[in-house]
């Protein structure tokens, strides 16, 4: 029989080996790789788990509501604006509290995210889909219900956003990506993709962005500086190549084709990883680029979505891809609850 002393020593050594094994295993996890295993697939297919587009039109949303589909609708606007008018049944949340409210998000329902213009709701949509929920963004947000701010606050945002101030400064030559970078290193301490995604999102939405801009999401809107000093940024044009060349793009911008470029084996290696270089992502309306930016931020890139996409500076270059001039206010107001009229 072993003495108490030798028995204690045996137990101590066993525990030490066990803890050491756990630390090695935890340290072996490459968090960037864990997240990109999901992101490589999601941004290639660009579909929800229900095989639908991550974006939904107001017409399709109204049809789902009329058909009494079991939806979970989240309104990400300011509380006062939510109280004044919101889609019937929608709950009001702050984007800063998405992760802290995660447990109340349904795993068996389609989640509809909506905000003013679709920019913030897109951020939430990307995070939810990457983390295994089924979520869609309401295209153009509450502005798709009515463009009249006298009916619903701040629904003229898209009308005000459409501009052609830099239409004549677009370039049509291809800019080749040449310099490559090591991938960022993530260190959340989490051991699976879902928890890493939630942790990274919570960090940047509540700390990284707020410290620099006082805002809670990575939206960039300084078009003047972008066109005056394009070399100060790494600009991602998230369009198919033929549109990048034919319609024209922001000077120095690189083409990152949708459903093909955001993979570890494709164009992620071309994104700079230094904190001083802002990666500006833009699309047609700022909604898809917001979803891309959410993903890149989770991966550790200093990424920003260009507000309203090309509609913010050269609307006429892409006339097919712009917000509707006039929403069918009378029809879509049927799904709205007016709580406090102005």
pLDDT 10s digits, 18-67:
444 444 344 578 999 999 999 999 999 999 999 999 999 999 999 999 99
Phi-psi category of 228—alpha, beta or left, where left has phi over 0 and alpha has psi -120 to 50?
alpha
Taking alpha carbons only, the member of 64, 71, 149 closest to residue 111 is: 71
Which range of residues forms the domain containing residue 87? Answer: 41-156+324-337
- pLDDT band at residue 222 under the 50/70/90 scheme: very high
pLDDT 10s digits, 281-330:
999 999 999 999 999 999 999 999 999 999 999 999 987 766 666 678 99
Q: What was the pLDDT predicted at 16?
A: 46
Asked if residue 258 is part of any domain, the answer here is yes
Specify the length of the chain in residues.
342
Q: Which two tokens stand for residue 160?
A: 């005000």
Q: What was the pLDDT predicted at 33?
A: 97
Q: Which two tokens stand for residue 207?
A: 């700390």
Number of domains the chain contains:
2
pLDDT 10s digits, 60-99:
999 999 999 999 999 999 999 999 999 999 999 999 999 9
Residue 329 CB neighbour total at 10 angstroms? 15
Residues 180 and 302 in one domain: yes
Q: What was the pLDDT predicted at 3?
A: 54
Domain harbouring 218, CATH code: 3.40.250.10
Residues 73 and 185 in one domain: no
Measure CA 239 to chain center.
16
Taking alpha carbons only, the member of 278, 264, 285 closest to residue 33 is: 264
pLDDT 10s digits, 257-295:
999 999 999 999 999 999 889 999 999 999 999 999 999
């800019």: which residue's tokens? 175
* Angle (deg, nearest 10), helices 193-203 and 287-298: 110
Q: At residue 342, does pLDDT exceed 70?
A: no
Question: How far is residue 146's CA from residue 143's CA, in Å, rounded to a whole number?
Answer: 5
Average pLDDT, the chain: 90
Residues 177 and 311 in one domain: yes
Q: At residue 216, does pLDDT exceed 80?
A: no
The helix (run of H) or strand (run of E) holding residue 92 is strand 91-92
């Amino acid at each position: 029989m072993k003495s108490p002393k030798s028995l204690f020593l045996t137990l101590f050594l066993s525990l030490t080996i066990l803890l050491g094994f756990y630390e090695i295993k935890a340290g072996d996890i490459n968090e960037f790789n864990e997240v990109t295993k999901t992101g490589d697939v999601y941004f290639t297919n660009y579909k929800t788990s229900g095989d639908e587009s991550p974006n939904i039109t107001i017409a399709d949303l109204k049809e789902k509501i009329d058909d009494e589909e079991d939806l979970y609708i989240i309104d990400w606007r300011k509380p006062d604006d939510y109280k004044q008018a919101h889609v019937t049944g929608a709950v009001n949340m702050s984007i800063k509290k998405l992760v802290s409210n995660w447990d109340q998000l349904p795993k068996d329902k389609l989640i509809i995210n909506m905000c003013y213009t679709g920019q913030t709701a897109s951020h939430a949509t990307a995070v939810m889909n990457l983390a295994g929920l089924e979520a869609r963004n309401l295209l153009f947000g509450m502005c798709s219900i009515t463009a009249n701010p006298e009916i619903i606050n701040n629904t003229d945002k898209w009308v005000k956003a459409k501009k052609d101030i830099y239409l004549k400064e677009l370039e049509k030559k291809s800019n080749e990506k040449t310099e490559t970078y090591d991938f960022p290193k993530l260190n959340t301490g989490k051991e699976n993709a879902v928890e890493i995604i939630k942790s990274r999102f919570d960090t940047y939405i509540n700390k990284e962005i707020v410290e620099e801009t006082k805002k809670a999401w990575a939206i960039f809107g300084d078009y003047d500086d972008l066109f005056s000093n394009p070399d100060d940024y790494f600009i991602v044009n998230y369009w198919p190549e033929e549109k990048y060349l034919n319609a024209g793009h922001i000077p120095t911008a690189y083409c990152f084709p949708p459903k093909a470029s955001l993979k570890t084996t494709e164009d992620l290696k071309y994104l700079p990883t230094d904190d001083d270089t802002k990666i500006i992502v833009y699309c047609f309306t700022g909604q898809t680029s917001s979803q891309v930016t959410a993903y890149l931020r989770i991966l550790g890139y200093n990424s920003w979505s260009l507000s309203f996409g090309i509609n913010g500076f050269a609307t006429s270059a892409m006339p097919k891809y712009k917000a509707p001039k006039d929403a069918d206010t009378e029809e879509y107001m049927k799904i709205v609850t007016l709580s406090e009229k102005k």
